[in-house]
Amino acid sequence: MIPPLSTLHAAAARAKPYIHRTPLLRSAAFSKLTGHEVYVKAEMLQKTGSFKPRGMTNKLLQLSPEEKARGAITFSAGNMAQGLAFGAAIAGIKAVVVMPAAASRLKAEATRSYGAEVILHGDVSEAHAHCLGLIEKHGYTFVKFDDPAVMEGHASLALEVLEDLPDLDAIVVPVGGGGLIGGTIMALRASGSKARIFGVEPENADVMRLSLEAGKPVRSPPKPTIADGLAPPFAGERCFPLVRDHAEGITLVSETQLGEAIKLLLMRMKLLAEGAGAASLAGLLTGKLPLKPGSKVVCVLSGGNIDPERLKGVL
């Protein structure tokens, strides 16, 4: 399940001309607060405001000429939508994104701005069915978050962390379906790093934790959460075994803790994280991660796409 490092380096090189190398920033404030040496990987500064272009670009650039000619599709109202649209523009192919009709107009507009066709359709299950129908009709490639090439692309984030801080002790990663932590695990283990890997989920959307308990990926409808990017109804089939075998479990955070982490990141570090993006810091701040004092810890701030109204609510 862990690809060779050469595969990950090739993926990183493929996307590199098109994406940002985001900074790893040391936080004096959070170091003082936790007793660790705390760094954040500021991935909200990535193109489209989240880590998604890393994997999407890598995936779409590797499609066959036939697949490219037909185009790619995904079902998402979040960062994956913009990530697909961005990657498709790079690869020069058609992108279709299906969102439920109630999706944020801002996100629909942002996705369109990268050149994708955005289809707003029905409720969640109707939109999903519509997406599958379009695939059948047009032969689009369905891009999912647990696609190996997507995770291999996401691995570039942790490769950059390793370049900047080779002797990190631990990395804390927000977990939704598991695509980002999957790529992080690939990068660290393929590189031979022994850094510990901690996942964080919202209490209201803990499908990976439930899957670990069940010993297999399960489905579980999420409750509403400010970390809407971490709320898929199922854990990724290919992500699950990586998390099971290489991560040290899942720490849960409350909505209050997520809101506080967003505010703290903004006021102390001047960085805007969305709920999903701040989950790693929220997890660290619970004090529940079993870390030795003074550990070098990296919190992955995976994205910053949050609506102004929602942000006001936590300030």
Q: Which residues bind a second copy (CB under 8 A)?
A: 20, 23, 25-26, 28, 44-45, 47, 49, 263, 266-267, 269-273, 304, 308-309, 311-312, 315
Choose between 103 and 195: whose C-beta lies nearer to a second copy: 103
Supply the minimum distance, in Å, between the C-beta of residue 86 and a second copy: 10
What's the angle, vertex CA 173, arms to CA 254 and CA 277, rounded to 5?
60
Q: By CB neighbour count within 10 A (0-12 exposed, 13-18 middle, 19+ buried), where does 117 fall?
A: middle
Which of the residues 27, 156, 191, 302 is marked catalytic? 302
Helix (H, G, I), strand (E, B) or coil at 283: helix
Question: Is 95 within 8 Å of 116 (Cβ atoms)?
Answer: yes
Choose between 66 and 309: whose C-beta lies nearer to a second copy: 309
> Checking DSSP bridges between strand 117-120 and strand 24-26, what pairing results, if any?
unpaired
Supply the minimum distance, in Å, between the C-beta of residue 308 and a second copy: 4
Choose between 137 and 270: whose C-beta lies nearer to a second copy: 270
Active site residue 68: no
Choose between 20 and 70: whose C-beta lies nearer to a second copy: 20
Which of the residues 41, 52, 107, 296 is marked catalytic? 52
Backbone angles phi, psi at 97, to 5 degrees: -125, 125
Supply the minimum distance, in Å, between the C-beta of residue 128 and a second copy: 29
Active site residue 52: yes
- The distance between the two most distant Cα atoms of the chain, rounded to a whole number of Å, is 57
Give CA–CA dist 87/90, Å, rounded: 5
What's the angle, vertex CA 263, arms to CA 260 and CA 265, rounded to 5?
105
Supply the minimum distance, in Å, between the C-beta of residue 30 and a second copy: 14
Task: Kindly list the catalytic residues.
Answer: 52, 302
